[in-house]
Structure 1
Amino acid sequence: MTDPNDAADPTEALRAGLEDYELDESDISLLDAAPEDLPGADAGPLPVLAVVGRPNVGKSSLVNRILGRREAVVEDVPGVTRDRVTYPATWAGRSFTVMDTGGWEVDVAGLDARVAEQAEIAVELADAVLFVVDATVGPTSTDESVVRLLRRSGKPVLLVANKVDDERGELEAASLWSLGLGQPHPVSALHGRGSGDLLDAVLEVLPQTPRERLGPVAGGPRRVALVGRPNVGKSSLLNRLAGSERVVVDATAGTTRDPVDELVELGGRTWQLVDTAGIRRRVHQTRGADFYASLRTQAALEKAEVAVVLIDASETLTEQDTRIISMVVEAGRALVIAYNKWDLLDDERRHYLEREIERDLVQVQWAPRVNVSARTGRHVERLVPALDTALESWDARVPTGRLNAFLGELVAAHPHPVRGGKQPRILFATQAATRPPRFVIFASGFLEAGYRRFIERRLRETFGFTGTPIEVSVRVREKRRGRPGR
């Protein structure tokens, strides 16, 4: 068997074979990028520009115009974009991050409320905001409500009057002065009219470096978010780790409303711990202060590198517990699960807890587990090695040679099933990012979800990745027409 460490030549041969397939610019940039240039590498932080507005005002079209390529999904139907999605962008030699968001509605429920919540978090995380309004419709009551929220944020806001295709449209855009955000910037995201002037204005309000970085700061303390449902002991754990009563602790659930940052010495190093408000059932089911507390908790998680999810081991695992863990995974943060109040468990409860973990947390078996008691201090020192393990995995990079040698052996032993008389072939793979590790596989056909999960399991078995989510995506590329296969 070939040593994966000596796989440089086979890797180059695999890459050469890719020339027979249709590759676009993003494929080539991914394949040619040096490890230090890939997302997650130790590069300087970039400022964040959030693009927000009502549904179907052209936010994603504007994002594509800013990027100079079609990245965001665009469709003439409200609600196509639901989550926050970030893209790297460059204008006039300056780089920044663009955050696309779903349509922002007020006083809505269900999925629409979730979308609005994501937009509010985007504003919380941004350094500047583009507020997009449909100039052909004019200002609406929803637009006016969004303006009030934007003013409260204190962030620089540029008002974008979209769908201005001619001089008549510019006259219609003038009505947007009534929103009180200053001069509207008339653009046509579809045709590009006015986009250059808008980007020049963006660079004037966007700082050279972000107000606060999402994730790690080179040489700074690692950021740890303490998250969990109300009254599981997050504030008690922070006080125990800090060695003093830094945070108010009360038996009443919901005592903590705003995230509380504390620099704490653990294991001979400084860590930045963030105590957060307890996350209740669903954000759109909360009201008033609880809603904004949950919102700030999610924003605090986005700014962290690793999350310690506290679970009350003395009580039955709940849907809230599993949902909070899923939220950490979806945010791409390293994960440690701490079972608190361990001193209250008897043998029977421990037996049932193990069964609950096997049943309900099977998808995160890779997360380090620590059994602690914030009240007595039992085993809290075990959090540090668990955090170190999770963060090391979160930062880990697999050399391209090792990765392709691993996949070659895996596919030889367990080929993809034949479907419809066809069997997709894995052509090449590379790690596209760290924090968390993201892998891109180039294949000649669609890889079934079950087979992708199989690859993920084997990646964990071979390379570890204890304590971090990993993502495996597939780019299907067809052979170039008119060229013989090799």
Structure 2
Amino acid sequence: MNTGDWVEAEFDDLQISEHDDDDSGPLPVVAIVGRPNVGKSTLVNRIIGRREAVVEDVPGVTRDRVAYDANWRGRRFTVVDTGGWDPDATGMNLRIAEQAQVAVQLADVILFVVDATVGATDADEIVGSVLRQSGKPVILAANKVDNQQLELEASGLWALGLGEPYPVSALHGRSSGDLLDIVLDALPETPELKFGEQGGPHRVALLGKPNVGKSSLLNKLAGEDRVLVDPMAGTTRDPVDELIELGGKPWRFVDTAGIRRRDRELQGADFYAAMRTRAALDKAEVAVVLIDASEPLTEQDLRIIGLVIESGRAMVVAFNKWDLVDEDRRYYLEKEIDRQLVRTPWALRVNISAKTGRHVDRLVPALEKALDSWTTRVPTSRLNAFLTELVQATPPPVRGGKQPKILFATQASTEPPKFVLFTSGWLEDTYRRFIERRLREEFGFAGSPLEVTMKIREKRKGGGSPAKK
């Protein structure tokens, strides 16, 4: 794929909203660019009306370009937050700047953010020159203008040759509505905002501890360098959405920040990045938990798996860097995995190498199977016939001299599947786990958590209607 092709492909990807109909058309894109630490992510949060983009008073917190759905006055568009664009950047900073340049190529409108309290720097002038040559509409936002006196200083930004500088305070919201009006005037027409739309591509959250290979896997699936990959742990901080067609249908993958340690031990950008990761998991249908197969399982790995279980999402555990494990080690590693993942024997497993692409093609069938399980509903008649046979073969343990009976059962919900047993008495935890295991054997549910609860009904003394406990 040549450069023009992949830029066009990414343009299509970024414009697709999570709730779009097929007939609604693509959303226009606003790319927010500027030097490091001029307040781009703060402005993004102001535009979308919630604290999504990670903000900290140090340069370099945003590293990838990250897309968010936004609307203003009933019109929808996509906002792309970018890393700081420094023309003199080297190393990782250079790659961050390259991501910003790609965002400019993809955008319909460019919002160039400059720190009005500093004025136009040499770097601003160089970036401004590049933007003028892009041929795209450029709106110059003079940020950090908190009072009328600073508005006069912002007028000096006319020297950048990008037209009128629009004063705004992203932090306090001053004149942000006026700025958005200017943005809307420059945008192509978009469909009216609709609420309650369903459907769209399945959402997959990529989770794992830092430097386990989440970004490498996303790039391998996308077929190009969509997100930054660096040996330094913690490269990803914002969840990064990527729409990828696999197996003939679209999937929305979300690359999340690596979960380093318990939330109470996190500070600054790492704390908010962890919150974004949890929010991304809540919005996903299925999670891919990446584990480094070349190292023993850690407490962090098990805690991340536990986080997915608590969220009720379908799960695929991908053992990455499998190419680094020799044949002798693999046999013993399988035994260790079975022992340490005893809480989740239902999780689907794939052994892959994100770097070489080995067995990455097995990921989509595993995701599809997990999602099928997650949405499975068992007919009530079939469920009760199955439980009748099960109880006849293996009755519940006697408790307090009485043997509880399962009077009736129903599946209360899907996503994940939840079953309710109406009983005449308490069922031991071990017996409920036995029922869960047999439900899985009979109906599948591979890759999905399963919840079995009970409602106890006992007749009141002296007769009367049943009581619930």
Normalised-by-shorter TM-score class:
0.5 to 0.7
User: In the aligned structure 1, how far is the partner of 2:234 from the partner of 2:278?
Assistant: 15
Check the 8 A contact 2:242/2:253 in 1, yes or no: yes
Could you tell me whether the CA contact under 8 Å between 1:404 and 1:429 is conserved in 2? yes
Distance change in 2, residues 1:429/1:347 (3 Å)? same
In the other structure, the counterpart of 1:338 is 318
Q: Superposition pairs for residues 413-452 of structure 1, below 5 Å? A: 413-452=393-432
- C-alpha deviations, 1:129-157, integer Å up to 9, x for none? xxxxxxxxxxxxxxxxxxxxxxxxxxxxx
What's the secondary structure of 2:361's corresponding residue? helix
> What is the aligned counterpart of 1:362 among 314, 322, 342?
342
1:248 is aligned, of 222, 228, 240, to: 228
Distance 2:241 2:464 in 1: 59
Contact 1:227-1:276 within 8 A present in 2 as well? yes
Give SS of 2:455's match.
Answer: strand
Alpha-carbon distance change, 208 to 239 in structure 1, aligned in 2, over 3 angstroms? closer
Aligned position for 1:192: none
Mapping 1:260-271, distance limit 5 Å:
260-271=240-251
Aligned partners of 1:314 and 1:349 also within 8 Å: no
Correspondences of 1:81-160 after superposition (within 5 Å):
none
Aligned to 2:463: 482
Partners of 2:459 and 2:465 within 8 A in 1: no
Q: Residue 14 of structure 1 corresponds to which residue in structure 2?
A: none
1:273-308 deviation line (CA, Å, top 9, x unaligned): 000000112111111111111110011000000000
For residue 282 of structure 1, the aligned residue among 262, 269, 273 is 262
Residue 463 (structure 1) aligns with: 443
Deviations for 1:421-453, whole angstroms, at most 9, x for unmatched residues? 111111100000000000000001111111110
Name the SS of the counterpart of 1:254 in structure 2: coil
C-alpha contact (below 8 Å) 1:234/1:275 kept by paired residues: yes
Deviations 1:179-227 (A, max 9, x none): xxxxxxxxxxxxxxxxxxxxxxxxxxxx9846xx9xxx42x10000000
CA contact (8 A) 1:222 1:271 kept: yes
- Per the alignment, residue 304 of structure 2 pairs with 324
Counterpart amino acid of residue 325 in structure 2: L
CA-to-aligned-CA distance 1:54-73 (integer Å, 9 cap, x gap): xxxxxxxxxxxxxxxxxxxx
Deviation above 3 Å: which 4+ runs of structure 1? Answer: 207-210
Task: Report what 2:388 is aligned to.
Answer: 408
Q: Partner letter of residue 337 of structure 1?
A: V
Describe the SS at the equivalent of 1:363.
Answer: coil
Q: TM-score, normalised by structure 1?
A: 0.55
Partner amino acid, structure 2, of 1:327 = L
Q: 2:147 — aligned with what?
A: none
Please state how far the C-alpha of 1:261 moved relative to its aligned partner.
0.2
Conserved? CA contact 1:452–1:472, under 8 Å: yes
Larger Rg: 2
8 Å CA contact 2:440, 2:446 repeated in 1: yes
Q: CA RMSD in A?
A: 2.3
CA contact (8 A) 1:440 1:472 kept: yes
2:357 is aligned with 1:377: yes
Q: Distance in 2 between matches of 1:366 and 1:403?
A: 20
CA distance in 2, matches of 1:441, 1:281: 38
Rounded to whole Å, the distance in 2 between the matches of 1:349 and 1:298 is 33
Are residues 310 and 484 of structure 1, via their aligned partners in 2, closer, same or farther at CA, if it must alter by over 3 Å?
closer
Match of 2:105 in 1: none
- Aligned counterparts of 1:208 and 1:477: Cα–Cα separation in 2: 45
Measured after TM superposition, the shift of residue 482 of structure 1 is: 2.6
Amino acid at match of 1:291: F
Aligned AA for 2:229?
V
CA-to-aligned-CA distance 1:216-242 (integer Å, 9 cap, x gap): x42x10000000111100000000000
Residue pairs, 1:146-295, within 5 angstroms: 209=195, 217-218=198-199, 220-295=200-275
Report the alpha carbon displacement of residue 253 of structure 1 after superposing the two structures with TM: 0.6
Task: Measure, in 2, the Cα distance between the counterparts of 1:352 and 1:279.
Answer: 27
**1:301 maps to which residue?**
281
Change (3 A) 1:410 1:234: same
Structure 2 CA distance, aligned partners of 1:301 and 1:465? 20
**Alignment length, in residue pairs?**
277
Instruction: Encode CA deviations 1:104-135: one digit per residue, 9 max, x unaligned.
Output: xxxxxxxxxxxxxxxxxxxxxxxxxxxxxxxx
C-alpha contact 1:267 1:384 (8 A) present in aligned 2: yes
Give a deviation string over 1:281-338, Cα, whole Å, max 9, x none. 2111111111111110011000000000000000110111111111111101000111
| Cα distance between partner residues in 2 of 1:342 and 1:229 | 16
Unaligned runs of 5+ in 1: 1-206
Q: Report deviation, 1:362.
A: 1.4
Q: CA deviation at 1:477?
A: 1.3
- 2:253 alignment partner AA: L
Match of 1:453 in 2: 433
Contact 2:399-2:426 within 8 A present in 1 as well? no
| Structure 2 CA distance for aligned equivalents of residues 266 and 366 of structure 1 | 24
Whether the 8 Å CA contact 1:416–1:451 is kept in 2: the answer is: yes
TM-score by length of 2: 0.57
Please state how far the C-alpha of 1:269 moved relative to its aligned partner. 0.9
3-state SS of paired residue (2:302)? helix
SS of aligned partner of 1:477:
strand
Aligned residue type for 1:461? E
Tell me which amino acid in the other structure corresponds to 1:276: T
Distance 2:195 2:305 in 1: 31
Identify which range, 356-365 or 267-276, moves more after superposition.
Answer: 356-365
- Alpha-carbon shift at residue 349 of structure 1 (Å): 2.5
Q: Higher relative contact order at CA 8 Å, sep ≥6: structure 1 or structure 2?
A: 1
AA of the residue aligned to 2:453? S
Q: Report the AA paired with residue 408 of structure 2.
A: F
Is 1:311 the counterpart of 2:309 in the alignment?
Answer: no
User: CA offset at residue 483 of structure 1?
Assistant: 5.1
Give yes or no for contact 1:432–1:439 (8 Å, CA) kept in 2.
yes
Q: d(CA) in 1 for partners of 2:359 and 2:458?
A: 54
